[in-house]
A and B are shown apart, each in its own frame.
Chain A
């Protein structure tokens, strides 16, 4: 179990993490929040890259620093690049060596990881010949290399095309057994299918956490489909979501704490997320 206990982290005058406490069992977790919410700081703290000002983070009752020494963390940061001069295989060998994977196991492990990100046919291609999305996929591959117990993805789908996003989701479902996987993103769609639990952060605080259904239920009776023509008649505080066309009629998806003149619809995770952020 990964335990984050009273975690506080401050950068000069800004509180990046404000007394966060949560226990995570094996499973896939989505971490949502607007830019500057503290997601990356939390990720880096869990990875042992940032020391906390107060509080602690443990995994299986061992401090996270000790877990780092055991190579039990896989991490894909937001910014990720590779040595363009090496091939995919050589680069993965590089990571495998850094992760202390025994020489005899390296080949199998590397091929396995590369297969999971659908790059096996290009394993001996140079990195310089790959697209940005493919590089990101190698980032995912290096994170899962060595079968770490905690895997953290920070904005993993940035730069990926729809097919690659699908591939990412498949990869997650393949590797999620016996692991804690945390996916930080502000694209709710990415985690809808992959994650069983969602955490939402804002201003350094963990505002809410729970199952997908729980998050979406937070927007129950607060989501309406309203005729676009009636937009000016919306009451109270509201948030306008997607504009769509139903039966040749323009409609808008409105989130509001007040009852609106439109059709109430079933909320999604994204609706729940927005309602929490907007305070509906």
Chain B
């Protein structure tokens, strides 16, 4: 076989139209990777390198499809097939040998990208086996499988079409899978409101997505199960078409492999159609940015306090492609209620609701809200809700889990505003606080990932009392940083020394601001479980808030911190959690925090309200105005607007 492969390689290398393109491509890829290695020496971001290295996967596809077409057309046009079909397994060896060369090309490309990525992994000082495996998987699907698929498609075209038709089909396929084609569904959606993204995704998700966005260090690059299914589907289909074509020519080619490929294609198609949670950063209306923005700006928010108290959750969670939950809620409610109100993010589809006796309860789902109707007049102390689904923003799949405590990924009592919007200011903001009392959680999680929570964990059981539950999974490891135990994002390597600096100075900054604002209840960070906030939490949620970022999230027992960022910003954001949620006072909170972080930049660019704030400081003194402002913002019984407060401040 080696002898046959050598001959095929000779044919490959002596065909100038193939050789020249191959050389240019390989030199181009290596040159590009060297350039990115140089860039790495500037930004020191390992995951960014993985991401940018795969930006050329569309060229990997184009080169592979061109080479495979031109190479296989030789084997077809010389009519060797009929001649060698009389040899034992002649046809299979002829085409198998030729395809082995294409396979070798795909393997070479894969190895080049893999070697560069592992080189960066080692010089980046990452010591995380899960991420090393992630690099392997990402290169396998984004480079090797993409190249293999292109080779199969090119071979299919070579055996089915004449040159002009072949190149027309190749151009169409390249257009469909490349990022350029996104402009078409985007234009149709913006112009006519018709959503054809899902049709395009059937092609475009073959290539990796989100390559032009800052990666999420918790999540990694996009290699979700549905992408493996999609690539698997197309590989099976093109492989099946090829085998079928040969079967027609040569009756000895078995039908069994074709049947197996049909089964494989069906399985993968089903897997792809099943969908699941993933990060979508494109222009699509289903993207992280647009999905909730388009919805919450157009929907009525409800606020209604529950007439019952939830005192415990017993959760059985399965996290595969998405979140599957079976949750038993313990209620402290001695009275009969006709309706039990809950809030659960609308992406989670409720399948069934039962009472303690296992009887199905009627319910009505309206967006984020669930109203459960009790027909028999008796008090309920337990309700069981079964649901599954995902949120585009707060991902939960085999690759990563980010379910922060403020987000209703489990049923929270009453009707609550999940996302605040303000048409005038053009902002939308997930409500980041939870006003619930501590309750008992017992959470059993089945997942391929090691899931971290704010509760104490034994095996797969997370248990304890808290105001809420946060779940995190992915490239996160427990580490000691600046004498704090931190759940650290292992591949956020560029910020290592900054993270230490943040934690070393954070306590001092908090103390300083507490003193300036007259806050007597000292925030002691050492009492909290510290989890490093990933990109999605910091910037994607912060995207619509008007602030641009969220560097701190505080709950009763844990905090998410934007480690590596300015400790002043983090300290002020942590203090802002002392202020009850009131969006009428939102501008006041922003002004106070901005002033505390940097007086100079605050003064540089002021609006009318900010000018009034400074004016009062100049008249009444900084210490007095800051303390009074903080007191006003914290005081829930003071219903004045911030503007009125400033005007009346004496």
Q: List residues of A whose CB falls within 8 A of some B CB.
A: 44, 47-51, 65, 68-71, 73-77, 79-86, 90, 93-95, 97-100, 103, 139, 142-143
Of residues 62 through 78 on chain B, the ones whose CB sits less than 8 Å from some CB of chain A are 74, 77-78
Q: Are B88 and A86 in contact (CB under 8 A)?
A: no
What distance in Å separates the Cβ of B570 from its nearest Cβ neighbour in chain A?
65
A209 to B311, CA, bound (A): 99
* A98, B90: Cβ atoms closer than 8 Å: yes
Other A-B pairs, 6, CB within 8 Å; known A85-B10, A142-B83: A49-B250, A80-B80, A83-B80, A86-B10, A95-B84, A99-B88
Cβ contacts under 8 Å, A51 to chain B: 251
Which residues of chain B come closer than 8 Å to A85, judged between CB atoms?
Answer: 10-11, 14-15
Q: Which residue of A lies closest to B79 (CB)?
A: A79
Given A82-B78, A82-B80, does the pair A97, B86 have CB atoms closer than 8 Å? no
Residues of A within 8 A of B78 (CB): 81-84
Contact between B88 and A68 (Cβ–Cβ < 8 Å)?
yes
Expressed in whole angstroms, the minimum distance between the Cβ of A144 and any Cβ of chain B is: 13
Q: How many inter-chain residue pairs (CB < 8 Å) link A and B?
A: 77
B87 contacts the other chain (CB 8 A) = yes
Chain A hits for B85, CB < 8 A: 47-49
Q: Given that A86-B14, A94-B7, A97-B3 are contacting pairs, would A47 and B86 also be in contact in the complex, using a CB cutoff of 8 Å?
A: yes
Q: Do B79 and A65 touch (CB < 8 A)?
A: no
Please give, as numbers and ranges, the residues of chain B lying within 8 Å of A70 by CB-CB distance.
Answer: 88
A193 and B587 CA atoms in complex are apart in Å by 106
In the bound assembly, the distance between CA atoms of A65 and B90 in angstroms comes to 13
- A80 / chain B contacts, CB cutoff of 8 Å: 79-80, 83
B residues within 8 A CB of A76? 83
Q: How far is the CB of B344 from chain A (nearest CB, A)?
A: 62
**B93 at the A/B interface (Cβ < 8 Å)?**
yes
Most interface-central of B15, B85, B87 (chain A CB within 10 A): B87
Cross-interface CB contact of B93 among A68, A75, A82, A98, cutoff 8 Å: A98
11 sampled A-B residue pairs with Cβ under 8 A:
A49-B250, A68-B86, A68-B88, A75-B83, A77-B79, A81-B79, A86-B7, A93-B3, A94-B7, A97-B7, A139-B83
Contact A83 B74 (CB under 8 A): yes
Q: How far is the CA of A44 from the CA of B10 in the complex (A)?
A: 30
Q: Do A93 and B79 have beta carbons less than 8 Å apart?
A: no
Given A71-B88, A98-B94, A83-B82 contact (CB < 8 Å): no
Q: Nearest chain A CB to B248's CB is how many angstroms away? A: 11
In the bound complex, what is the Cα–Cα distance between A93 and B42 (angstroms)? Answer: 53
Q: Assess the B82–A49 pair: CB atoms within 8 A.
A: yes
Query: A82 CA to B11 CA in the complex, in Å?
Result: 11
Question: Which chain A residues lie closer than 8 Å to B88 at the CB level?
Answer: 68-71, 99-100
A96 to B88, CA, bound (A): 12
B residues 6-47 near A (Cβ < 8 Å) are 7, 10-11, 14-15
Contacts of B3 in A (CB 8 A): 93, 97, 103
Residues of A contacting B80 in the complex (Cβ-Cβ under 8 angstroms)? 80-83
* B4 beta carbon closer than 8 Å to chain A: yes
Given contacts A81-B77, A86-B11, A93-B7, A98 and B87 within 8 Å (CB-CB): yes
Report Cα–Cα, A76/B83, bound state, in Å: 6
* Chain B 231-262: CB-based contact to A (< 8 A → 1; otherwise 0): 00000000000000000001110000000000
Query: Which residues of chain B are near A86, meaning CB under 8 Å?
Result: 7, 10-11, 14
Q: Is the CB of B14 within 8 A of A77?
A: no
Q: Which residues of B contact A139 (CB under 8 A)?
A: 83
Cross-chain contact B11 with A48 (CB below 8 angstroms) = no
Query: What A residues does B77 contact at CB under 8 A?
Result: 81
Q: Which residue of B lies closest to A127 (CB)?
A: B78
Say whether A75 contacts B10, CB under 8 Å: no
B4 to chain A minimum Cβ distance, whole angstroms, is: 5
Whose C-beta in chain A lies nearest to the C-beta of B252? A65
Bound Cα distance A274, B370 (Å): 92
Closest to B250 in A: A49
A150 nearest in chain B by CB position: B86
Chain B nearest Cβ from A147, distance in angstroms: 14
> Which residues from A are CB-within-8-Å of B90?
98
* Closest 9 pairs (CB-CB, A-B): A81-B78, A85-B14, A75-B86, A79-B79, A77-B82, A47-B86, A51-B251, A73-B86, A69-B88
| Neighbour of A94 across the interface among B4, B82, B86, B250, CB < 8 A | B4
Q: Mark contacts of B165-177 with chain A using CB atoms, 8 A cut-off: 1 yes-contact digit, 0 otherwise.
A: 0000000000000
410-424 of chain B: CB within 8 A of chain A: none
Residue ID in chain A nearest B12 by CB atoms = A85
**Nearest-CB distance from B71 to chain A (Å)?**
11
State the Cβ distance, B372 to closest chain A Cβ, in Å: 66
Residues of B within 8 A of A81 (CB): 77-80
> Which residue, of A73, A76, A90, A94, has the highest number of chain B Cβ atoms within 10 A?
A94
Shortest C-beta distance, B295 to chain A (Å), equals 58
B278-309: which residues lie under 8 A (CB-CB) from chain A? none
In the complex, per-residue mask of B85-125: 1 if CB is within 8 Å of any chain A CB, else 0: 11110100110000000000000000000000000000000
B351 to chain A, nearest CB (A): 53
Residue in contact with A71 in the complex, picked from B15, B83, B87, B251, CB distance below 8 Å: B87
CA A86 to CA B11, docked complex, whole Å: 6
CA distance A75 to B80 in the complex (A): 11
B100: min CB distance to chain A, Å: 13
Q: Which A residue sits closest to B74, measured CB to CB?
A: A83
Contact among A69, A73, A83, A97 with B11 in the assembled complex (CB-CB below 8 Å): A83
Nearest CB of chain A from residue B253's CB, rounded to whole Å: 12
A77, A84, A90: the one within 8 Å of B83 (CB): A77
Docked-complex contact B84 and A98, CB < 8 angstroms: yes
State A44–B250 Cα separation when bound (angstroms). 11
Q: Which chain B residues border A100 with CB–CB below 8 Å?
A: 87-88
Complex Cα spacing A47 to B85, Å: 8
Residue of B nearest to A143 (CB): B83
How far is the CB of A84 from the nearest CB of chain B, in Å? Answer: 8
Closest residue of chain B to A70, judged by CB? B88
A81 to B78, CA, bound (A): 4
CA distance in complex: A143, B77 (Å): 19
Pick the most buried of A48, A70, A81, A83: most chain B CB atoms within 10 A of its CB. Answer: A83
Contacts of A90 in B (CB 8 A): 7, 10
User: What are the residues of chain A within 8 A of B87 when measuring CB–CB?
Assistant: 68, 71, 98-100
| Cβ–Cβ < 8 Å partners of A44 in chain B | 82
B15 / chain A contacts, CB cutoff of 8 Å:
85
